[in-house]
Amino acid sequence: RDWGSAVVSADLGFAERIVSSRRMLPWLLAAGGGGLILLADSTDPAFVNLGAVLLGLGIGGTTLCVTLLLVRYFGPTVGAACLGAVWTMAGLAAAGPWISGLVADATGRYTDALIGLGLVGLPVAAAALALPRTPDETNAAIMTAGAAPTSI
């Protein structure tokens, strides 16, 4: 998974020249959630592989997009501090296996926990659709319209 996420991050770094991180983030979050849902109860190897690819795409891509967006919205100094806070809060994800174990103890399987975790990501993906333009995108739109750029 880590190797695959690294490859996805590198590839999306090039794709980011064409499609902004702000536009990619909701799709990547949905891909990660969808991957978990596919992995939850699939026995068909094609669905298991597709779920793994979607999960890797979601993890690797989200990591890249969040990093780029924080720096673009807040600048390098504050963006780096925000990134530290984000990854500190991401440590709360360590509760996921514990919660999954509780669900498995209660139901006899992990399927419900994985589906639940996948579904939690979908409203987050929808909320990411509402992200405002980054200063770079705003300046590009202004320049296209023929006006002077705003200061950052």
Q: pLDDT tens-digit profile of 67-111?
A: 889 988 888 889 889 888 888 888 887 888 888 899 999 999 989
Per-residue pLDDT band at 10 (split at 50, 70, 90): low
Q: Which residue has the tokens 């504050």?
A: 78
The length of the chain, given as a count of residues: 152
Six-digit token string for 105: 């103890």
Give the model confidence (pLDDT) of 135-150 as tens digits.
877 766 666 666 555 5
- CB-based contacts of 101, cutoff 8 Å, min separation 6: none
Task: Supply the pLDDT for residue 63.
Answer: 87
Residue 101: predicted pLDDT:
92
Q: Which residue would you say has higher pLDDT here, 47 or 137?
A: 47
Q: Which amino acid appears at position 26 of this protein?
A: P
Q: Residue 61 pLDDT more than 80?
A: yes
10 Å Cβ neighbour count for 126?
12
Helix (H) or strand (E) segment spanning residue 42: none
DSSP class of 73: H
> From the CB of residue 92, how many other CB atoms can be counted at a distance below 10 Å?
8
